[in-house]
């Protein structure tokens, strides 16, 4: 029965009356598209940037999460600022979440080699539950007889991004404003079928080591994610860039999830990347892993200049 395995897994993970989990979109190649979670990151680039991301999680698992995202950043060179648009959509079984935000980032010089970008974004979320997709033995369930239920909300997020040419550290809260929605029908206990947003805190840092006259670069990075009532999630990764063209790396997420990624720069304007995740937990009995693809496009104001590729 479609989606039954998802429901059984959730029931096994937590008591039936209280299920908590990560709500924000999970992307493995986060270090190359930090604008998804930190609006301040837009201020660290001096060119127009377009990023497309697609992630299919837990392949082979009915109703598994699917995520798509688009980010566009446009810098204003003479105003030390940048604006950007972020659009994301997550689908998990009959549930979907679509978000569209507009962001602004302003950058100050801390020293001759150190800069601090400050960002803010705001927009709207649309939550939708297509309850007709669920199959149940109880045809009289009041919740499932509602068809498609939708709720919308306002969202606002903020972040800081401190960086030099060799290292960076960013902190952000994608949702400062949280909301609660009920997907229950008349006469149904709202406490059981509520969707409650939670604040997520992200801390991301990395350092770039250069060898062989900048032909080989090595970048260790770490991402700490914390959400209320959930243990912190830690991503640790190591990436290598060769001749400013190929990037290859891998890492670990908590103790039981591993990932690897490969990126290729097609000239100075286009970047394509692929990542694969696999788990050593009991989830591996049901899933064939997760696949992720990103496409980046950089548009420089002065095409005649030589631009050094960014490694973050």
CATH number for the domain including 52? 2.40.160.40
Tell me the CA distances in angstroms from 170 to 37, 38, 102, 201, 296, one per residue in order: 10, 8, 19, 11, 21
For residue 305, being part of any structural domain is answered with no
Listed in sequence order, the residues at least 6 apart from 23 whose beta carbon sits closer than 8 Å to its beta carbon are 197, 198, 200, 227
At residue 14, the pLDDT reads 36
Domain count for the chain, please give it. Answer: 1
Stronger pLDDT, 13 or 145, i.e. the higher one: 145
Among the residue ranges 134-148, 211-225, 228-242, the one predicted with the least confidence is: 134-148
Percent over 90 (pLDDT), the chain? 45
Give the closest residue to 7 by CA, choosing from 95, 81, 71, 77.
95
For residue 304, being part of any structural domain is answered with no
Stronger pLDDT, 302 or 221, i.e. the higher one: 221
Residues 284-311: tens digit of each pLDDT: 677 778 999 999 998 876 655 544 557 7
Residues 61-101: tens digit of each pLDDT: 777 889 999 999 999 988 899 999 999 999 888 888 899 99
Among the residue ranges 42-51, 143-152, 158-167, 183-192, the one predicted with the least confidence is: 183-192
Dihedral angle sign, alpha carbons of residues 111, 36, 123, 185: negative
For residue 307, being part of any structural domain is answered with no
Give the range of the structural domain holding residue 51, as residue numbers without chain letter: 4-299
- What is the distance between the alpha carbons of residues 290 and 279, in angstroms, rounded to a whole number? 9
For residue 16, being part of any structural domain is answered with yes
pTM: 0.84
| Torsion angle (degrees, nearest 10) of CA 36, 41, 47, 51 | -10
């Amino acid at each position: 029965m479609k989606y039954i395995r998802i429901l059984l897994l959730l029931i096994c993970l937590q008591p039936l009356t209280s299920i908590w989990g990560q709500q924000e979109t999970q992307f493995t190649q986060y270090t190359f598209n930090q604008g998804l979670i930190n609006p301040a990151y837009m201020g660290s680039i001096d060119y127009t940037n377009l990023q497309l991301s697609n992630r299919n999680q837990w392949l082979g698992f009915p109703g598994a999460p699917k995520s798509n995202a688009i980010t566009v950043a446009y810098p204003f060179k003479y105003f030390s600022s940048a604006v950007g648009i972020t659009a994301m959509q997550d689908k998990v079984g009959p549930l979907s979440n679509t978000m569209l935000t507009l962001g602004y980032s302003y950058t100050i010089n801390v020293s001759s080699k150190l800069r601090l970008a400050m960002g803010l974004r705001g927009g709207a979320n649309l939550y939708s539950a297509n309850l007709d997709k669920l199959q149940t033995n109880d045809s009289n369930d009041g919740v499932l007889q509602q068809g498609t239920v939708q709720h919308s909300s306002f969202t606002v997020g903020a972040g800081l991004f401190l960086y030099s040419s060799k290292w960076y550290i960013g902190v952000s809260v994608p949702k400062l404003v949280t909301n609660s929605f009920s997907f229950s029908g008349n006469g149904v206990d709202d406490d059981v079928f509520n969707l409650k947003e939670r604040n997520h805190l992200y801390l991301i840092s990395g350092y770039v080591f250069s060898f062989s006259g900048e032909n080989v670069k090595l970048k260790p990075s770490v991402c700490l994610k914390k959400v209320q009532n959930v243990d912190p999630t830690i991503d640790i990764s190591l990436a290598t860039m060769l001749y400013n063209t190929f990037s290859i790396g891998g890492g670990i997420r908590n103790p039981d999830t591993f990932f690897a990624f490969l990126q290729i720069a097609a000239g100075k304007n286009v970047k394509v990347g692929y990542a694969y995740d696999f788990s050593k937990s009991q989830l591996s009995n049901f899933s064939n892993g997760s696949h992720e693809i990103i496409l980046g496009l950089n548009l420089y104001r002065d095409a005649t200049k030589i631009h050094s590729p960014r490694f973050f």
